[in-house]
Structure 1
Amino acid sequence: MAKPVTGKKVTVNRRAVSAVTLIVLIALTVAFVWLGMTGMNLDGQGLYKLLPWLPTTGTETRWQDALVPGAELGETLVMHFTPEAENPLTEEEQAETIRVISARIRDLGWQDSRVELLEGGTFRATLPKAADDGHIDHLLDAKGEFTLADPEGNEFLTGANIASAGFGVSDASGTDFSLSIAFDEEGRRIFGEKTTELVGQSISLKLDGETLVSPGVNMPLTEGGVSIPGFALEPAREYAIMLRSGPMPYALEVGQAEAGAPALGEGVTGRLVLALFVVFILVALFLIIRQRLGGLVAAWMLLVQLALSYFFAALMGAGFTLVTLAGIWLAFLAMLLGVVMLFEDVQEDVRRGRSVRQALKESYGGRGHGALDVLAALIAVCVLVVIVDAQGVIGSFGKVLGVSLLTGLVLSQVALRLILRETLTLFGDRSALYASGVTKKEEV
């Protein structure tokens, strides 16, 4: 009679698994940070590149291609404008000119630019050097007064009746773009009546008296909006920006542009990057001295948070500005406070006699859960800020802060917890490894 085959029980060496897991995660972290500092060619010819995105000191400045410095921290482009008016502008006209120029610059994404009124009634705009793209002159010197006219040239709508404007691709080729215009209530009524009257004819879109396009009217357009095709990419973008900003009182004559120093002074970028690096080192030392092995893991996660936050800021085109840095480092501070609260709770439980593993579990259910609630609430606030001010400075800050907070939430609530578990398995849960100043167990 055949005997049943008994399988040999296989035991898994949990310490070996934990060691391999930690080694792999450390290697991935080193590789990610290294790529952040050096970048990488994605093909053999170097046509496609992953740009470095982590700010560094020294002569290596390629990271500034991914995180373009703003006017406060990087080289600037200084432009001078003279109004094309016979008489000096009134105070109201000067204020409106500054508002329109500032709105157009911000719409391009240069949130930290500055527009000033100089003696003699001229204007000066200080922008990041990267703003010199060959198109900005026309965008800033044009008066920007749009009108709609019938085939006889009679104007029936002005920019005052336009509530919003945008642009987008209008055909499958991807080379033809259209302007999308939405009217206010009065504009909706007038445009509906005129397009009903002009079916089979055309209307003209004019800028400062010059006809841009004259599309045909195939049917009455009574929904309060219109999409006008026939533009290349850059003109479509410029016209949409001008429509959103409104017209200036007068057109401007652009003087010679010149290079300028950062608004906060020469060398400010290097000093700031060095100062932030020192801040991180001091925070890491505090955590390691205070929480020892647990503090080392926490410093590791904080480093990953910074690297990811800068990476996402580069993807969003946030630039290297004070607004971006404020968002990233406030999120860093929020994660740091959550981690410190968590480990302080662990230390208290360890001093009372609990094991580190049990103390960690209890802490994530106590102060750790409170930190989770706070981070989630802050992220919700950031979402609301972005909805309210998507294109403004506050909206840009909300985007960077929200993404960085979300990164910190995942790292502190998931990654940190999992890595600490593997660390406990590999090195054991001796209290001296995770809590400084533990001399004896206190009775509960």
Structure 2
Amino acid sequence: MLNRYPLWKNLMVILVIAIGLLYSLPNLYGEDPAVQISGTRGQEVKTAELGDVQTLLAENNLPLKSIVLENGSILARFNNTDDQLLAKDKITEKLGNNYSVALNLAPATPKWLTDIGGSPMKWGLDLRGGVRFLMEVDMNTALTKRQEQLQDSLRTELRKEKYQYSAIRSADNFSTQVTLTKQEQLSDAQRFLRKQHPTLDIKEISNNTLSLGLSDSALAEARDQAIEQNLSILRRRVEELGVSEPVIQRQGAERIVVELPGVQDTARAKEILGATATLEFRLVNPNANLDAAARGMVPSDSEVKLDRHGNPVVLYKRAVLGGEHITNATSGVDQNTSSPQVSVTLDSEGGEIMSQTTKLNLKKPMATLYVEYKDSGEKDENGKTILAKHEEVINVATIQGRFGSQFQITGIDSPAEAQNLSVLLRSGALTAPIQIVEERTIGPSLGAQNVAQGLEAGLWGLGIVVLFMLVYYKLFGIFANIALLANMVLLVGLMSLLPGATLTMPGIAGIILSVGMSVDANVLIFERIKEEIRNGRSVQQAIHEGYNGAFTSIFDANLTTILTAIVLYAVGTGPVKGFAITLSLGVAISMFTAITGTRMLVNLIYGGKRVEKLSI
């Protein structure tokens, strides 16, 4: 029988629309002003801190909407932004630098919705604002680190070639001076070093001393390289946070701007982005006297580092391996001790170094040294914050066998710290220390008024289309309008479900365009039905031919639009990608609602009946 859907197809359409409606609901509940409190370095916040915060807020007459301790951090919700801002200042003053306190907008989605994966659609900075970080790269530390690496290489190279030296020391403008023991070796050593380091400016400054320095252009190039490497690492860290359509760009000579729309955990974003952590693997000096080391008496090739309990550990100065050789890191649990651990994977060079080191040092202790730069609380003459290098021995383990590019790090306090460390190692160690000099929670860059006017214009346009379809196509116009509403519901639900989808102002333009194309598909179908009736077809045949005949042209037109959107997404950035996402999703959904959805409604009203006239 013509124009009848089987029961399963009707139920499928109803089920798809019901699911879309369900996952669209979180967008109706809005967000609460909140303050998020997390421990630094991934440390978990405990119940004691929760009690302190509750007492502090009660003492300052700051009413809470709710406060919970979850996943090692506290989320306090407030009724308005005034209470939120005052609470942040009070909590920061109370807890000090051991905790990260950040403003947040927490979704007010009911628990039953969040339990099934429901969450509101993410909005871009141009619609809802977000968090903006201004970061400054410590170039002096970057160049000093490069200078130290050069000096380590020089010691190895000169010893290998039998050039005797009495000193290798740092000089002005990040240059290095090499003083040879024998003057007659100066010329040969200079030629050798020029061959080994062609980018350095090498010259004699006395009868037995060479100066190795960077030219002005080389210094500028080194600074640019440090910025570009940090930009690349920050992009990987943002990917770890799952933030879509971020803005990460250079500003001036030494600064980087990071804008994060739609973030839900600004405290974690601040910690991950600003962290400068890396690891060094060093052999422990087993011959050193710990009592003497505690008094500062250590061999010249060694130095004292403290573990987290304040106990001294004597390590060789030369690191076996650095964090730059780490290609992957994942957190987990040690099967034997049930304690947190981080599994590390090295690149081929790092694996070879570790293999040779462990082969030569069986049954000897090796330490994992955690290195991080923190705000010292002091400023230099230019007003810049001085970063202090913080080092801590995470663990000391005896080398039980030869291993290469894969191994585990234990001795970590909590699963949260293990996960935090794995993220930092996986996304890369920053080439130069970086600090957040400004953190702002900003409003929409287009202005709330412009956004409201844009949405109002879109609603007016939608209303005119709905009215036109009702007047011109009568009952079939109602079918088209129902399909249009279903299109909007499904698009919002799908945008809410997709983790990488963010709604921007260009994205709204894509939605409106896809709505127009949805109506366009129905116009083609309805006009084809009218044409078939004029040609003498029966009502049932006209409906059947109208949908089947118009399908090919609708499919071809929508397919070319989707392909164009895919190209836009592949080559575009930022707002262009937002437009491409909403357009492609909207057009794909419109093919379902405008063809299958309206066909179901038409079949329910007219299908399988003797009809003399259509309301079209």
- Which of the numbers 41, 66, 73 marks the counterpart of 2:127? 73
Q: Which amino acid letter does the alignment assign opposite residue 550 of structure 2?
A: R
State how far apart, in whole Å, the 2-side matches of 1:183 and 1:385 are: 37
State how far apart, in whole Å, the 1-side matches of 2:472 and 2:256 are: 55
TM-superposed CA distance for 1:50, in Å, is 3.7
Given that residues 27 and 120 in structure 2 are in contact (C-alpha distance below 8 angstroms), is that contact kept between their aligned partners in structure 1? no
Counterpart in the other structure of 1:274: 456
Please say if 1:204 is aligned against 2:387.
no
Given that residues 181 and 226 in structure 1 are in contact (C-alpha distance below 8 angstroms), is that contact kept between their aligned partners in structure 2? yes
- Evaluate the alpha carbon distance shift between residue 181 and residue 409 of structure 1 in structure 2; reply closer, same or farther with a 3 A threshold: farther
Map residues 15-414 of structure 1 onto 2, 5 A cutoff. 35=25, 38=28, 48-50=111-113, 66-86=120-140, 90-118=223-251, 121-128=254-261, 130=263, 133-149=266-282, 155-163=319-327, 165=328, 167=330, 170=333, 179=342, 181-190=344-353, 204=368, 206-208=370-372, 210-212=392-394, 225=406, 230=412, 232=414, 235-236=417-418, 238-317=420-499, 318-322=501-505, 325=508, 328=511, 332=515, 335-369=518-552, 371-372=554-555, 407-414=589-596
State how far apart, in whole Å, the 1-side matches of 2:339 and 2:481 are: 51
- Evaluate the alpha carbon distance shift between residue 342 and residue 197 of structure 1 in structure 2; reply closer, same or farther with a 3 A threshold: farther
Question: How many pairs does the alignment contain?
Answer: 391
- Evaluate the alpha carbon distance shift between residue 126 and residue 345 of structure 1 in structure 2; reply closer, same or farther with a 3 A threshold: same
- Evaluate the alpha carbon distance shift between residue 403 and residue 227 of structure 1 in structure 2; reply closer, same or farther with a 3 A threshold: farther
Counterpart in the other structure of 1:8: none
State how far apart, in whole Å, the 2-side matches of 1:355 and 1:218 are: 87
Q: Which amino acid letter does the alignment assign opposite residue 475 of structure 2?
A: L
Given that residues 81 and 252 in structure 1 are in contact (C-alpha distance below 8 angstroms), is that contact kept between their aligned partners in structure 2? yes
TM-superposed CA distance for 1:403, in Å, is 5.7
TM-superposed CA distance for 1:312, in Å, is 2.4
State how far apart, in whole Å, the 2-side matches of 1:266 and 1:194 are: 61
State how far apart, in whole Å, the 2-side matches of 1:402 and 1:191 are: 49
Given that residues 313 and 324 in structure 1 are in contact (C-alpha distance below 8 angstroms), is that contact kept between their aligned partners in structure 2? no
State how far apart, in whole Å, the 2-side matches of 1:348 and 1:184 are: 68
Range that drifts further, 99-108 or 195-204? 195-204
* SS of residue paired to 2:238: helix
- Evaluate the alpha carbon distance shift between residue 138 and residue 431 of structure 1 in structure 2; reply closer, same or farther with a 3 A threshold: same
- Evaluate the alpha carbon distance shift between residue 205 and residue 371 of structure 1 in structure 2; reply closer, same or farther with a 3 A threshold: farther
Q: Which amino acid letter does the alignment assign opposite residue 105 of structure 1?
A: V
Given that residues 514 and 586 in structure 2 are in contact (C-alpha distance below 8 angstroms), is that contact kept between their aligned partners in structure 1? yes
TM-superposed CA distance for 1:252, in Å, is 1.9
Given that residues 66 and 319 in structure 1 are in contact (C-alpha distance below 8 angstroms), is that contact kept between their aligned partners in structure 2? no
> Which runs of 5 or more structure 1 residues have no equivalent in the other structure?
1-13, 41-45, 52-62, 435-444
- Evaluate the alpha carbon distance shift between residue 28 and residue 256 of structure 1 in structure 2; reply closer, same or farther with a 3 A threshold: closer
Given that residues 146 and 205 in structure 1 are in contact (C-alpha distance below 8 angstroms), is that contact kept between their aligned partners in structure 2? yes
- Evaluate the alpha carbon distance shift between residue 416 and residue 128 of structure 1 in structure 2; reply closer, same or farther with a 3 A threshold: same
State how far apart, in whole Å, the 2-side matches of 1:138 and 1:100 are: 14
- Evaluate the alpha carbon distance shift between residue 198 and residue 30 of structure 1 in structure 2; reply closer, same or farther with a 3 A threshold: closer
Please say if 1:417 is aligned against 2:599.
yes
TM-superposed CA distance for 1:225, in Å, is 4.8
Counterpart in the other structure of 1:3: none
* SS of residue paired to 1:253: strand
Q: Which amino acid letter does the alignment assign opposite residue 448 of structure 2?
A: E
* SS of residue paired to 2:466: helix
TM-superposed CA distance for 1:251, in Å, is 1.0
TM-superposed CA distance for 1:217, in Å, is 7.2
Deviations 1:101-126 (A, max 9, x none): 34433442333333454457444433
Q: With structure 2 as the length reference, what TM-score do the two structures score?
A: 0.50
State how far apart, in whole Å, the 2-side matches of 1:335 and 1:177 are: 53
State how far apart, in whole Å, the 2-side matches of 1:381 and 1:177 are: 48
* SS of residue paired to 1:304: helix
State how far apart, in whole Å, the 2-side matches of 1:398 and 1:228 are: 43
Q: Which amino acid letter does the alignment assign opposite residue 295 of structure 1?
A: G
* SS of residue paired to 1:134: helix
TM-superposed CA distance for 1:408, in Å, is 3.7
Given that residues 282 and 320 in structure 2 are in contact (C-alpha distance below 8 angstroms), is that contact kept between their aligned partners in structure 1? yes
* SS of residue paired to 2:136: strand
Q: Which amino acid letter does the alignment assign opposite residue 615 of structure 2?
A: L
State how far apart, in whole Å, the 1-side matches of 2:124 and 2:519 are: 27
Given that residues 20 and 493 in structure 2 are in contact (C-alpha distance below 8 angstroms), is that contact kept between their aligned partners in structure 1? no
TM-superposed CA distance for 1:219, in Å, is 6.9
Deviations 1:319-368 (A, max 9, x none): 44347546655654554444343333323323322234323322333331
Range that drifts further, 403-412 or 309-318? 403-412
TM-superposed CA distance for 1:248, in Å, is 3.0
TM-superposed CA distance for 1:166, in Å, is 5.9
Counterpart in the other structure of 1:440: none
* SS of residue paired to 1:366: helix
Q: Which amino acid letter does the alignment assign opposite residue 492 of structure 2?
A: Y
State how far apart, in whole Å, the 2-side matches of 1:139 and 1:320 are: 25
Counterpart in the other structure of 1:437: none
* SS of residue paired to 1:77: strand
CA RMSD, 1 decimal: 5.0
State how far apart, in whole Å, the 2-side matches of 1:250 and 1:371 are: 55
* SS of residue paired to 2:266: coil
Deviations 1:45-104 (A, max 9, x none): x962548xxxxxxxxxxx9x7224322211333333333343897333333334433443
Q: Which amino acid letter does the alignment assign opposite residue 348 of structure 1?
A: E
State how far apart, in whole Å, the 2-side matches of 1:326 and 1:238 are: 39
Q: With structure 1 as the length reference, what TM-score do the two structures score?
A: 0.66
Given that residues 310 and 328 in structure 1 are in contact (C-alpha distance below 8 angstroms), is that contact kept between their aligned partners in structure 2? no
TM-superposed CA distance for 1:291, in Å, is 3.3
TM-superposed CA distance for 1:262, in Å, is 1.8
